[in-house]
Structure 1
């Protein structure tokens, strides 16, 4: 059995040698045949140079570099395309996820026969706005978008059976959350618990803009709820306008004076604002449909450093 470990990387020059050493210690000691596929998401440091150096001394390391920053989900997708294993474990390269959790994932895969195994955090280590955002996102995905398989505390490490990997690669969607897609495809899914550590070196590139894009991609890719909300808001607004019209007509019929321009301007601004928001929501869907119709590749590879299978130990 061959295990593929897939890791996206962005400015991880300090973490990669340490992670490589820990993977060797963990997997070699367990007698597992493995490969490590690392996709450099166009780092600005020497991440790719470090990876090529590791590949020179260990033929199990396979390094890929993007031509620009396409995002971690595209990097994971690229790594899965390159993976040759009977199963693949996706984990970050920032050392927050201990390589020892791979053994627990493999044990669950073999024992239960699950085709997707999530490594669910026992508790999130985030604080403040990050914790609030994460809880809101996973609640939204599980309850509103109706993806109940998503772990409530998130899962940054997961195992995929070969059949699931091949199924996933048949999808060709540009704007989609890979984690949400894995929950949507179904199959037999289970989870294990693990404790996530602190980042040893560097800082996370998971910015607020990327988080917001993830939410929009997840909702628009798996739910028609925004369209239904637009219909509901439009109906309520129309009823309010009709009620206000009755008030104005009644005031005129019974000798009263209708309210002046101030109230009219408020109504116009509120309705105009609602219409602009609705147009923006429709624009998100239309833009994604247009971008998908272009049939552009999801990513562009700039360089590779791999060893042919025949020359591997």
Structure 2
């Protein structure tokens, strides 16, 4: 959750009904990703009437995948379901996920969106392109249009906790592990309240993290760009020499200027791609935590208890 005070009442009304009807012990782990609105206060009030509600608040906004990591690493259940707070993914599908996993002895059940008509045309097309590209990177195990709404067994979480990923992209990382999996299909709903927390900037960042974490193809692209630039340079030199031999050259600086500009741009692109990978190595060596927990309502080791007055 990040600044989701408007959607929490609708989320709790639907989610609690689903979880209570399962007939099994459960906990609802709400990860507050450093919200600056009244999200923390609303959650704290709800805990008085819902003992299964557990709140983990991060000290600052650390990002969607970091907040998801905090929830996965601290959840205590045999089965763990991750779901966003905006109600675009229906909580009612959780019961179907659990039945499928137990009936077929699966470790992962993905929620796959069969209908994305509530998304904009731009988002539908870019999402389709993203999944096509990522299937080429990860393989056929990646389910198209499966986001972060999924059910996983405890053993899967234990494996994820041992992995050294600094910027995990779980929609790619979990399929790459090869655990037995299944899918349930659902229609993606409109956001119940509030504003989207995933603008274009974050979608582009997710696409880049997905690419850089799972393939060295951008580095190979830099190699191909350099090779193409070298070939173009050799062709240009041969053409210039032939024109000079024929005596038909026209003095000027335009062609030289454009050539220098082209090759300088290629070099900068290659340096930028190399720099991105070096930066990831640097972050890995620093070994800084992805997130800092301000408090966990069932963990006495955190710094302090939650306050209903803190927004």
* TM-score computed with the length of structure 1 as normaliser: 0.91
Aligned structure 1 segments of 4 or more residues deviating by more than 4 angstroms:
none
Q: How does 1:219-238 map to 2 (within 5 A)?
A: 219-238=211-230
- The offset of 1:149, in angstroms, is 2.3
Which of the numbers 191, 201, 206 marks the counterpart of 1:209? 201
2:150 is the alignment partner of 1:148: no
Taking the aligned partners of 1:307 and 1:273, their CA distance within structure 2 comes to: 53
The answer (yes or no) to whether the contact 2:34–2:57 under 8 Å persists in 1 is yes
User: How far 1:18 sits from its partner (Å)?
Assistant: 2.7
Query: In the alignment, is the contact (CA less than 8 A) between 1:11 and 1:46 conserved in 2?
Result: yes
One of 241, 246, 255 as aligned partner of 2:238: 246
User: Hey, what's the Cα distance between the residues in 1 that align with 2:223 and 2:187?
Assistant: 43
In 2: Cα distance, 1:258 partner to 1:137 partner: 48
Question: Is the CA contact 1:15–1:201 (under 8 Å) kept in the aligned structure 2?
Answer: yes
Superposition pairs for residues 1-313 of structure 1, below 5 Å? 9-124=1-116, 125-143=118-136, 145-257=137-249, 260-306=252-298
Equivalent-residue separation in structure 2 for 1:23 and 1:128 (angstroms): 29
Q: What SS does structure 1 have at the residue aligned with 2:146?
A: coil
Gaps of at least 5 residues in structure 1 are 1-8, 309-313
Contact residue 32 and residue 40 of structure 2 kept, 8 A: yes
Give a deviation string over 1:106-134, Cα, whole Å, max 9, x none.
01101122211101011213123222221
Secondary structure, counterpart of 1:197 in structure 2:
coil
The 8 Å contact of residues 175 and 217 in structure 1, kept in 2 or not, is answered as: yes
The superposition leaves residues 65-107 of structure 1 with CA deviations (integer Å, 9 ceiling, x where unpaired) of: 1111101111111011111111101111112222110011101
Q: In 1, Cα distance between the equivalents of 2:250 and 2:280?
A: 46
Identify the residue that residue 4 of structure 1 maps to in structure 2: none
CA distance in 2, matches of 1:259, 1:34: 80
Please give the alpha-carbon distance, in whole angstroms, between the structure 2 residues aligned to 1:119 and 1:259.
65
Write out per-residue CA displacement over residues 134-193 of structure 1, whole angstroms, 9 at most, x where no aligned residue.
Answer: 1221111112x2343222223341011110011011123222312111122221122111
Q: Secondary structure at the match of 1:34?
A: coil
Q: TM-score, normalised by structure 2?
A: 0.91
- CA–CA separation in structure 1 for the residues paired with 2:240 and 2:10: 74
Cα distance in 2 for residues equivalent to 1:82 and 1:10: 18
- Cα RMSD (Å) of the superposition? 1.6
Gapped runs of 5+ residues in structure 2?
301-311
